[in-house]
Structure 1
Amino acid sequence: MDITLHFAPNTCARVPMIALEEIGCEYHTELVAFMRGDHQSPQYLALNPKGRVPLLVVDGKVLTENVAILHWLSSEFPEAKLLPVYQNNFDNALVIADLAFCASTLHGLVTRLRIPHFFCDTVEAIPRVFQMAEQAMRPNFALMDERLSKGLWWYGDQWSIVDVYINWIWFRVAGTAFDTSPYPHLARHSMTLSQRPSVQRVLRRHEEAAEWLASRGLEVKFDGAGAVKAAAS
């Protein structure tokens, strides 16, 4: 099986890359340089008309969207135990709901916290976009913190790729002006996950990719905190 993951450093493509590392299968990667316009090139759009990452190509077939990619990887490589599997369809659907919670409910708010200036057409509106996203995110962070207060991982003692997605959400939000101090269990969860070998390997790969882009003037500069501060001054 020939597997290629198209990714950009620090994006949510980190999640399926960690999944592939957990699986231990051979796979290839293709770096997408947003600042060079790779995601809008005819070649990339022919594969993914959405112009986004992650993009997984399996034996020439294309799969997009993290929920679909992670569900397929879990089903194709059950020995990796990326997701819990139950004997009834309803409980399995609840697992998909957890992935969708990360990919839809949370991810959309992350983008507004990270790049609020992308969601308004005046500088004066930037702080308000951030504030509204912050207000919407806090109940979700409280929900996750409460659940993680009851166990090591999202599913108690059982690690899953949902933990990796939650960790990516935390990583992106913690890099903004969003105060994460009220969520100690999420912070603990992040520290615990960071010790996992698969996570450490992928973090190094993303750091190397970011350094490669920076050396060519192609680093992505989405400074949400800076944009909010500048707009408020």
Structure 2
Amino acid sequence: MSKIVLYMSPGSCARVSCIALEELGLEFETRVIRFMTGEHKSPEFKQKNPKGKVPALVYNNQTLSENVAIITFLNQIHGQLLPSTNDPMVSANQIADLCFCSATLHPLVTRIRMPAFFAGEDNAKAVQDKAFDAMDEFFALIDKRLEGQQWWYKDQWSAMDAYLYWCFWRVQGAGYHVEKFPHYCAHAQRLEQRPAVQRAIARDNEASSQLESEGLLFKPKNIAR
């Protein structure tokens, strides 16, 4: 087994941790979890992550879950993922920024991308419409912050940018009008030019092709509007 293994599923937020690992230039293996077969609930995977979710990072035979924790840990060990600081308040605010993605944006992303999962097919559009309305406030906040600067932390790329990119990309093809937020759109385009991001996307695409060949690729339904 590789020293570092990232358990992931294509399209999932595991892409955030994958981008972080690629940016650090670490050697790691990605292993695909097949949600369509219930592999995430299997005893074998739950030994790695009892929550039954991805990402799960195995690092020196120890497992860590949750993007915020994975990014914080990797930054403590390797640096480069968040702006360097000795100020506890600045450090806490960096964690708060990551939590903004995981605890505020991510639940709305899921309701936009997979509303039927929460309310069934009959109520899916109502759930998605509510999520669209709620997301507008936060995308406007992000768009304003990115106006006139390249990254979330001005000129310094960080893992926060990777998380923001995943949130943007995930709703982009689900009927949400991302074009209302031009600075956020430009940010996503800049991210996609980074070699590390391109390598992470290639891993994601390879996993998608693998699952599709097995008839196990999950494809959320687009809601007619």
Amino acid at match of 1:92: S
1:42 aligns with 2:43: yes
How far is the alpha carbon of 1:35 from its aligned partner?
1.1
Structure 2: runs of 5+ lacking an equivalent: none
1:6 aligns with 2:17: no
1:132-165 deviation line (CA, Å, top 9, x unaligned):
1111100000000000003000000010010010
Q: TM-score, normalised by structure 1?
A: 0.93
How far is the alpha carbon of 1:194 from its aligned partner?
0.3
Matching residue of 2:109: 110
* Separation in 2, partners of 1:221, 1:64: 24
* Separation in 2, partners of 1:204, 1:43: 27
Matching residue of 1:28: 29
Count how many residue pairs are aligned between Structure 1 and Structure 2: 224
Structure 1: runs of 5+ lacking an equivalent: none
Q: TM-score, normalised by structure 2?
A: 0.96
Identity %: 44
1:145 aligns with 2:143: yes
Of 200, 204, 208, the match for 1:202? 200
How far is the alpha carbon of 1:36 from its aligned partner?
2.0
* Separation in 2, partners of 1:192, 1:106: 20
* Separation in 1, partners of 2:75, 2:53: 22
Amino acid at match of 2:157: W
* Separation in 2, partners of 1:202, 1:178: 24
The residue correspondences of 1:84-99 to structure 2 (distance < 5 A) are 84-99=83-98
Matching residue of 1:159: 157
How far is the alpha carbon of 1:85 from its aligned partner?
2.0
How far is the alpha carbon of 1:199 from its aligned partner?
0.5
* Separation in 1, partners of 2:150, 2:27: 29
- Which secondary structure does the structure 1 equivalent of 2:178 belong to? coil
Structure 1, 133-142 or 34-43: larger mean CA deviation: 34-43
Aligned-CA RMSD value: 1.2
* Separation in 1, partners of 2:212, 2:46: 24
1:140-196 deviation line (CA, Å, top 9, x unaligned):
000000000030000000100100100000000101111112100011001111000
* Separation in 2, partners of 1:27, 1:125: 41
How far is the alpha carbon of 1:124 from its aligned partner?
2.9
* Separation in 2, partners of 1:47, 1:159: 31
Amino acid at match of 1:111: T
1:75 aligns with 2:73: no
